[in-house]
Structure 1
Amino acid sequence: MINKIGKVTVYVNNQQQAKDFWINKIGFVLKMEQPMGPNVSWIEVGPSEDEFTTLVLYSKSVMQQQNPSKVAHPSILFSTTDIESAYEKMKRNGVEVGEMMRMPFGTMFTFKDQDGNEYLLREDK
C-alpha cells in the first residue's frame, strides 16, 4: 500500500526566499519547479538528487485564499506505485477517502485518519 513518505509541505511567505534558504544556506538541491498560476510555483527541494523525499515549498497566502479559515491542504503527502490498489484497499479497510484526482503531474486522493487529520496519497512513477 504505502511504501514511502514522498513529500512534506512547508507553508512559506515567499517561495523564492524559501528556495534560496534551503538551497544556499542548507545545501539542498532543487528537485522541481514549475508554474502553478500567476506568481506561484510548485517548488520541491531535497537533500540530494538521489533522495526521494522532498520538501514542497508552498505559498502560505495561496493556501489561505483557498481556505481562509485555515491552511487545510494535507502537509504530508505519501507515495505509492499503485494508486488504484491502495485506494481500493483503504476503502475496504474503512478508511475515509476522497475522490481520485487525476492531474497532469500525478494521480492522487486524500484520506483521513481516526482523528480526521487529512493526508494525501499520490502515485509516483
Structure 2
Amino acid sequence: MINKIGKITIYVNNQEEGKEFWVNKMKFVVKLEQPMGPNMKWLEVGPSKEAFTSFIIYEKNAMLAQNPQANVLHPNIILSTTDIKETYNEMKANGVEVSEIMNMPYGSMFKFKDQDGNDYLVREDK
C-alpha cells in the first residue's frame, strides 16, 4: 500500500512568481523543472534535493483549462520545523507575511501567506 506522501500541488496565479517565493523566500530548492508543452512546465520544489515530498507549482488557469471543476483556491498544508522561533524569524526576515506565533497545548505554530495570499501553517515538531 501507500508508504509516503509524494507530491502536493499548489495552484498559483503565476508559476515564475510561485517559484521565486518558494526558492528565494522559503529557501526551498527546485527538484525538477521541465516543459510540459508549449506554454506549460512541470515545476517541483522541496526543502532539499533529498526530501521525498515536494510541492508541484502549477498555474491555476492551466488547471482550470484542463478541469473547470478543479478547486484551485486554497491549499491546506502544514509544514514542520524543529525550531519555531528560528523559522519564524528567518521567514519574517525574508519578507514572508507571517502571523504571531500561537502556543497551543498540542504545539506552537504560525500562519504565513505565499505570493498569492494562500494560507499555510508552520508547526513545531519536536
TM-score bracket for this pair, using the shorter chain length = 0.5 to 0.7
Contact kept in structure 2, 1:60 and 1:71, CA below 8 Å? no
What is the CA-CA distance between 1:70 and the residue it aligns to?
3.0
Task: Report sequence identity in percent.
Answer: 58
Alignment partner, residue 49 of structure 1: 49
Is 1:25 the counterpart of 2:25? The answer is yes
Q: Deviations over 1:58-87 (max 9, x none)?
A: 111011011223348xx8xxxxxxxxxxxx
Contact kept in structure 2, 1:63 and 1:71, CA below 8 Å? no
CA distance in 2, matches of 1:70, 1:5: 21
Q: TM-score, normalised by structure 1?
A: 0.55
Q: TM-score, normalised by structure 2?
A: 0.54
CA distance in 2, matches of 1:22, 1:69: 26
CA distance in 2, matches of 1:26, 1:49: 14
Q: Deviations over 1:75-107 (max 9, x none)?
A: 8xxxxxxxxxxxxxxxxxxxxxxxxxxxxxxxx
Question: Residues 74-93 of structure 1 correspond to what in structure 2 (within 5 A)?
Answer: none
Alignment partner, residue 69 of structure 2: 69
Equivalent residue letter for 2:15: Q
Structure 2 residue runs without a partner (length 5+): 76-126
Q: Secondary structure at the match of 2:36?
A: strand
Query: RMSD value over aligned CA atoms?
Result: 1.6
Structure 1 residue runs without a partner (length 5+): 76-125
Alignment partner, residue 15 of structure 1: 15
User: What number of residue pairs does the alignment pair up?
Assistant: 73
Alignment partner, residue 58 of structure 1: 58
* Structure ranking higher in strand proportion: 1
Alignment partner, residue 34 of structure 1: 34
CA distance in 1, matches of 2:35, 2:5: 24
What is the CA-CA distance between 1:50 and the residue it aligns to?
1.1
Equivalent residue letter for 1:15: Q
What is the CA-CA distance between 1:20 and the residue it aligns to?
0.7
